[in-house]
Amino acid sequence: MFQAPVTHELAPLELAEIPELAIFDEQPLLVLREMVPFESFMGLIENWFASLASRIERLVGAAATADLGKLIETSHDMAGTCGCFGALRLGELAWQLEQVCRAGDLPRARALVRNMVPVTAATRAALRRRYFSH
């Protein structure tokens, strides 16, 4: 009887399997707000807000040019910072992207990047409404 070899690769990821986490959860920022002066806090928010645009641009460009190294580096960085700023859904997508890139699955990576574009926009919109619409 034939048995398939055991591998430790990622199982196929269906995009519908990605949990529907909140776009924005303010709780991590409330904790940060208690730890730093207001001006420093707002500076951190402004810098991270701006970095989201450049990160998603890097991801789109890297996906278009099949640059798995840049995809891994940028998605790892993005996944690490999203949780600190309450961007739960974007952080989960970035983590998933890093994993599929490490597995060398460019088609799935490109699909994830396409999904991350509107989630990044929604995350930025939530931050803008909460912190920049005064």
Q: Is the pLDDT of residue 57 over 80?
A: yes
Closest CA to 94 of 108, 70, 78: 78
| Residue with tokens 């409404």, as numbered in its chain | 129
Q: Of 3.90.1150.10, 3.50.50.60, 1.20.120.160, 3.40.50.150, which CATH number belongs to 22-131?
A: 1.20.120.160
pLDDT at residue 67 in the model? 98
Q: Is the pLDDT of residue 119 over 50?
A: yes
Q: How far apart are CA 84 and CA 16, in angstroms?
A: 25
Render pLDDT for 60-108 as a digit per residue (tens, 0 to 9).
999 999 999 999 999 999 999 999 999 999 999 999 999 999 999 999 9
Write down the pTM of the prediction.
Answer: 0.83
